[in-house]
Structure 1
């Protein structure tokens, strides 16, 4: 995979780079935000496919409905960015996963006109037309502060109208990290719960507001569209010396405290029955913090703590270390004199330890900082500055318990220096170049680091059209590949993030394709070791005992725990995921069949009340047919070759256990599909929408009617997908699924009590009335998800909410 990608743009701000948990890199430039997608095609040394794809997002463009025209501000409150700027991006950040469609990440973009908007894709991630602005956070501030204007006057502006203008301008923001689950184990692909998606935003009136972002995905379909709501706000108490009179000098006005310049939200820590976190923010003269406690959907904000020995407004950023050490969080503060490392207690936000380090006397702003903590006993802090990165001796510091220690130059700085050498040679500059570093970003698994830089001549005026501008994004490893192989990070990760690391490992560690099987087996074992069954999963939650109408979240979590995070299913899923990074010819038929079989058995144990709708009954009937099909296969001569025996036994619960890791070899492996394609006369559970001929259930992945019409089956419900526009597919293994809009339409159009055959036999359980051909087509006007909040708790809804990523490989959906 290519380590360097060149784009036709210059970045527009410091900290211009961010890497999402979905594996997408975002870069803020003057006219747009560039999104870079790693190509996740199967490994092949001879492939000619581009390794990185990129699309532009027109973030600076607003419609008149999104951004109505405002009256000019007074001279005291005039903002060039709000009035006449081109609305270039000045800050970007990816959200934690779970808020965008298919549980993906959303992109927050703050533009020069002081507007913060949230972007996400509705269809294919790598197509620009799928991305759109979902919500503008400033609207929530307007709604919130318009209700409390009379109760709290502005500390900067006496005019109420101008005060409202200041309160709705956004100067800085940060996402709250994802809430940790109550389980101490890590997960790959999905999570038991995602929690609320929160932001902290700072306005022009010395205030910080906590905002919750809601979407159809984050509310399990209860919300039709995206919305924002301010939960609470805190007002900064400025130093009296920063108050400015009307006759003050220009120097005094520069010292006036008008807004918070930087804000950072620490990781959440679970203590007893509540989550604790700390929000740190900067003023003109110091750094301040507040302790945030979240318990039972309620937030509590502590009093303000002032750290007076730091002055960070004009020189950089705040960066929390993701590792918590004995109830102490570590905050890196880049101030005017260098770097200050604060150890802050989670109990009362007080400083427990303090260390500092000189940054080689550099005067330019710090443009990026990331923590390297994976498989390290002592965390390392990588940082960059605008102009002096390649000239200063310090780029990485090791944060020991006693002090900050500089270590050798990192590999990512070598890549930047190599770019400068190539630029000088190409333009005959004889080494007269300067390099601007615009930001750093760390990969989802924390094992690679991305840098963004541009190279310019240093002894002449640089002139050219915008088409001549070039920015470079370079990827470099933070450790040796053999060290990455040792273990994977113990935290919640996505399958896309793991796939990126696996492809890099394959490219840089394997020299012969004959080594691929042993390598695949080793990686799958390492994945299972890092992301095994959740602790306490052996004490299964009895789904049938829950109240269906009131316990939707509990039923979804119970089904996810017992099915998605099943021990044997995890082993099969990791084998499939590794095969997509290592062996493009692997079909993993056996593993896919076993995963579907375990799911079918689990669905049969759900209460009958969940199958009140015909669509849910039909899903259950299809899974019952799969159980019958698999059992019939095991009754035939499917013995594998002696060198890798597979044993099959039926347990008391009626489930069939096939020895983990067994695999059909030679002709027997290819004959599995042939045996699956059995013509069972009693397997009719559906009919063809084209010719009304019966469709037999003789293949878990493909449906064919007796007249030869062929359709793919949904990988989750096993129902034939017979119409366009009703499906989605896995972004890694391309398994098709019915999309959420179609599932919602079936449940809305067919409420409980309309099914006349819910207790019929397997062959007729889901057929409904005669002549019900094409019943699964999406009805006009119902595809927008309206009425989702009043949907019944049904098998279809629980199943598609629990399996929010591909059940076979863990990949997120597309479409």
Structure 2
């Protein structure tokens, strides 16, 4: 049993939890970010829940003068005094989809109260979290050529809210029997949407810099300004008050919807929508992206186009005051897309047809709109249930036991509820499965302080990972002014899911991936393969690993073919290896000193300690003729003779060569390893992510 986690921190913003696809739970705690990662099941300590997690904390409000230059006072429309004088605490955070960071991990984006958006990732063998990019500098460079006024340029580069899009994956086409799907199909492109201080919605394509490690570049795909004179219809638009409100209206909540592939052969673009809360109104920005141009690296201005999607509207929608947050959901092959939005004193549930999502007004008549107020469950049927008027502070979507989506929500007053996301469902809000845990925590706080049942809870954030969900809450006295010191600050995280068990962060096992890697290497020099051949050393190692371990007859035949070619090209004597391809398999003896100095010597391994040959008896371990033992790389099968040249699978612990640490003088081996690890960028045994 996991049990609630009690942390000595206090959240600095609503929606303070974010759970990455790699299993890392990030918590916004004032000037710090706390990262919790579940330990492997073998390391669990069931006596204390917090001991079942790896914990890391780092500071995010320390900026150099180059990162955050001094800004002198400007006019009142373009200068944010609060941002300049703030402590730069965390006001929003979100993980990118996997595949953007090194080793295909997730990048953490953190927005601080000084209106700077920073990207973080762990660096080095110790995994120290480091700021790698500030997105504001990218916006500043983009608008410099358009905006000449310094004050307006400052407003254009300040960031109020952001959201990552789902990964934009290129559909897999026929790639051949011995090829691997390209990176764009496995991990997709990473798009980041930003709302600046001038109410521009900016769409960026983010990617790691190819020439500079631990650095990221971003190009602006499209910019759509939002300016609506009728944002507050209850106020006379010609009044001074309406003018002031319009100038101070900001976009404070945005959320990405799913990507839809072209519905006809004539269409070339995929469609995505971004929901934004502008003032108290819900607006939707539609982005159309040409995947072919995006894959070819064409000019950013021609790749995508954005506009407001007016087809997503309902006659009654203008009557609601939207406060956020926002949450989209779409199940594969479903004709309905769900959008949930927090409104004043309730939840607004919107069911959209696919046509409306694509921007076709013909489908707008089928939009279903439902408002669900927040009522406490009455003690008796005759009693009137009290109503909660506080806003929603967190929402998340989980799957129930039948794999049906369920929306969970919580408010600043501790009200929690859930709603199934079914097309045409009129079901009202019901109790969340983890409500008993919340009540127990509140009652314990109430009993310890003798509050007479007046303790209240506040929900600060929700996040999901696979089938698990995490909820961050705090408890407070409800009938007095609360005095709290820093030593008394506590955030309780309730982790729930199937049987409330510890979340399993180990990836699913792929039994065929190891053989697929061997097949990819052995077929690399086939004429039909559109890729450069690999290093002779890697080809020889893959052939030997196939002889030793594989029972696949096709791989054995291909290994024989590769050895014949290597013997022909290099002139080396490979008769022992060839005989064991066709006959009984067994260990391959280490090469003599004459063979290590003769033809084909570059493909044979020798011990760095004693210069003796290295034999083959296992694809996981190597031993030289003098007895020195080394671990073999789990992908290339080469012996790792220097511990500094390896990287590890974070899940199963297997070792791999680190392509960044290979001697640059051996360009053939280095380029071959880079090509291999681009194709197999996760563990070939368990699909786990790598770490230094």
Q: Could you say whether these structures have the same fold, taking a TM-score greater than 0.5 normalized by the shorter chain as the test? A: yes
1:268-283 to 2 correspondences below 5 Å? 268-271=259-262, 272=264, 273-283=268-278
What's the secondary structure of 2:194's corresponding residue? Answer: strand
Q: Does 1:214 align with 2:207?
A: yes
Unaligned runs of 5+ in 2: 174-179, 295-302, 375-386, 560-583, 597-603
Q: C-alpha distance in 1, partners of 2:96/2:87? A: 25
Q: Does 1:287 align with 2:282?
A: yes
Structure 1 residues 680 and 456, CA gap change in structure 2 (3 angstroms): same
Kindly indicate whether the alpha-carbon contact (under 8 Å) linking 1:17 and 1:27 is maintained by their aligned counterparts in 2.
Answer: yes
Tell me what 1:721 maps to: 640
Structure 1 residues 242 and 451, CA gap change in structure 2 (3 angstroms): closer
Structure 1 residues 617 and 696, CA gap change in structure 2 (3 angstroms): same
Q: Does 1:358 align with 2:367?
A: no
Q: C-alpha distance in 1, partners of 2:172/2:11? A: 40
Q: Deviations over 1:87-129 (max 9, x none)?
A: 11001111100001110111111111111111111245xx5x5
Tell me what 1:732 maps to: 651
Q: Deviations over 1:129-154 (max 9, x none)?
A: 5211111111111111111126xxxx
Tell me what 1:198 maps to: 191
Tell me what 1:780 maps to: none
Q: C-alpha distance in 1, partners of 2:214/2:10? A: 38
Unaligned runs of 5+ in 1: 151-159, 485-496, 503-526, 529-569, 574-594, 632-647, 657-674, 753-765, 767-775, 777-793
Tell me what 2:615 maps to: 696
Q: C-alpha distance in 2, partners of 1:681/1:693? A: 8
- RMSD, aligned α-carbons: 3.7
Kindly indicate whether the alpha-carbon contact (under 8 Å) linking 2:201 and 2:224 is maintained by their aligned counterparts in 1.
Answer: yes
Structure 1 residues 795 and 299, CA gap change in structure 2 (3 angstroms): same
Instruction: Tell me the CA shift for residue 234 of structure 1.
Output: 0.7
Q: C-alpha distance in 2, partners of 1:615/1:241? A: 61
Q: C-alpha distance in 2, partners of 1:404/1:603? A: 56
What's the secondary structure of 1:166's corresponding residue? Answer: helix
What's the secondary structure of 1:417's corresponding residue? Answer: helix
1:650 to 553, 558, 562: 553
Instruction: Tell me the CA shift for residue 80 of structure 1.
Output: 3.8
Structure 1 residues 205 and 134, CA gap change in structure 2 (3 angstroms): same
2:330 to 310, 322, 331: 322
Q: Deviations over 1:216-247 (max 9, x none)?
A: 4xx6x7977312222220111321677999x9
2:407 to 366, 381, 387: 381
1:483-522 to 2 correspondences below 5 Å? 499-500=504-505
Q: Under a length normalisation based on structure 1, what TM-score does the superposition of the two structures give?
A: 0.68
Structure 1 residues 693 and 458, CA gap change in structure 2 (3 angstroms): same
Kindly indicate whether the alpha-carbon contact (under 8 Å) linking 2:336 and 2:423 is maintained by their aligned counterparts in 1.
Answer: no
Tell me what 2:350 maps to: 342
Tell me what 1:466 maps to: 486
Structure 1 residues 51 and 349, CA gap change in structure 2 (3 angstroms): farther
Instruction: Tell me the CA shift for residue 377 of structure 1.
Output: 7.3
Instruction: Tell me the CA shift for residue 433 of structure 1.
Output: 1.3
What's the secondary structure of 2:627's corresponding residue? Answer: coil
Tell me what 2:418 maps to: 396
2:589 to 680, 697, 704: 680
Structure 1 residues 433 and 813, CA gap change in structure 2 (3 angstroms): same
Instruction: Tell me the CA shift for residue 85 of structure 1.
Output: 0.6
Q: C-alpha distance in 2, partners of 1:458/1:438? A: 17
1:800 to 677, 681, 686: 677
Structure 1 residues 9 and 677, CA gap change in structure 2 (3 angstroms): farther
2:541 to 605, 622, 627: 622
Q: Does 1:605 align with 2:523?
A: yes
Kindly indicate whether the alpha-carbon contact (under 8 Å) linking 2:28 and 2:34 is maintained by their aligned counterparts in 1.
Answer: yes
Q: Deviations over 1:538-582 (max 9, x none)?
A: xxxxxxxxxxxxxxxxxxxxxxxxxxxxxxxx3467xxxxxxxxx
2:305 to 300, 318, 335: 300
Task: Count the aligned residue pairs.
Answer: 613
What's the secondary structure of 2:261's corresponding residue? Answer: strand
Q: C-alpha distance in 2, partners of 1:37/1:652? A: 39
Structure 1 residues 303 and 598, CA gap change in structure 2 (3 angstroms): closer
Q: C-alpha distance in 2, partners of 1:44/1:432? A: 36
What's the secondary structure of 2:163's corresponding residue? Answer: strand
Instruction: Tell me the CA shift for residue 680 of structure 1.
Output: 2.3
Q: C-alpha distance in 1, partners of 2:116/2:517? A: 46
Q: C-alpha distance in 1, partners of 2:388/2:323? A: 10
Tell me what 1:85 maps to: 86
Deviates more, 1:721-730 or 1:135-144: 721-730
What's the secondary structure of 1:143's corresponding residue? Answer: helix
Instruction: Tell me the CA shift for residue 356 of structure 1.
Output: 1.4
Tell me what 1:237 maps to: 227
Instruction: Tell me the CA shift for residue 679 of structure 1.
Output: 6.3
Tell me what 1:265 maps to: 256
Structure 1 residues 206 and 737, CA gap change in structure 2 (3 angstroms): same
Kindly indicate whether the alpha-carbon contact (under 8 Å) linking 2:254 and 2:326 is maintained by their aligned counterparts in 1.
Answer: yes
Q: Under a length normalisation based on structure 2, what TM-score does the superposition of the two structures give?
A: 0.80
Instruction: Tell me the CA shift for residue 284 of structure 1.
Output: 2.2
Q: Deviations over 1:616-665 (max 9, x none)?
A: 2211111122223347xxxxxxxxxxxxxxxx673597279xxxxxxxxx
Kindly indicate whether the alpha-carbon contact (under 8 Å) linking 1:270 and 1:276 is maintained by their aligned counterparts in 2.
Answer: yes
1:530-549 to 2 correspondences below 5 Å? none
Kindly indicate whether the alpha-carbon contact (under 8 Å) linking 2:548 and 2:585 is maintained by their aligned counterparts in 1.
Answer: yes
Q: C-alpha distance in 1, partners of 2:659/2:128? A: 17
Q: C-alpha distance in 2, partners of 1:480/1:275? A: 39
Q: C-alpha distance in 1, partners of 2:329/2:54? A: 31
What's the secondary structure of 2:388's corresponding residue? Answer: coil
Q: C-alpha distance in 1, partners of 2:449/2:558? A: 69
Instruction: Tell me the CA shift for residue 168 of structure 1.
Output: 1.0
Q: C-alpha distance in 1, partners of 2:689/2:10? A: 31
Higher relative CO (Cα under 8 Å, sequence separation at least 6) belongs to: 1
Kindly indicate whether the alpha-carbon contact (under 8 Å) linking 2:163 and 2:193 is maintained by their aligned counterparts in 1.
Answer: yes
Kindly indicate whether the alpha-carbon contact (under 8 Å) linking 2:224 and 2:307 is maintained by their aligned counterparts in 1.
Answer: no
Kindly indicate whether the alpha-carbon contact (under 8 Å) linking 1:399 and 1:405 is maintained by their aligned counterparts in 2.
Answer: no
1:390-469 to 2 correspondences below 5 Å? 395-406=417-428, 408-443=430-465, 445=466, 447-469=467-489
Instruction: Tell me the CA shift for residue 266 of structure 1.
Output: 0.5
Instruction: Tell me the CA shift for residue 304 of structure 1.
Output: 4.2
Structure 1 residues 408 and 323, CA gap change in structure 2 (3 angstroms): same
Kindly indicate whether the alpha-carbon contact (under 8 Å) linking 1:38 and 1:500 is maintained by their aligned counterparts in 2.
Answer: yes
Q: C-alpha distance in 2, partners of 1:103/1:313? A: 40
The structure with the greater share of residues assigned to strand is 2
Q: C-alpha distance in 1, partners of 2:231/2:90? A: 33
Q: C-alpha distance in 1, partners of 2:449/2:530? A: 70
Q: C-alpha distance in 2, partners of 1:33/1:313? A: 32
Structure 1 residues 706 and 89, CA gap change in structure 2 (3 angstroms): same
Instruction: Tell me the CA shift for residue 372 of structure 1.
Output: 2.9
Q: Deviations over 1:245-303 (max 9, x none)?
A: 9x976676345454222211101122255321111212224212132222211212244
Structure 1 residues 691 and 427, CA gap change in structure 2 (3 angstroms): farther
Kindly indicate whether the alpha-carbon contact (under 8 Å) linking 1:2 and 1:52 is maintained by their aligned counterparts in 2.
Answer: no
Q: C-alpha distance in 2, partners of 1:267/1:436? A: 30
Structure 1 residues 623 and 501, CA gap change in structure 2 (3 angstroms): closer
Q: Deviations over 1:335-357 (max 9, x none)?
A: 22522222332331653312212
What's the secondary structure of 2:367's corresponding residue? Answer: strand
Structure 1 residues 349 and 620, CA gap change in structure 2 (3 angstroms): same
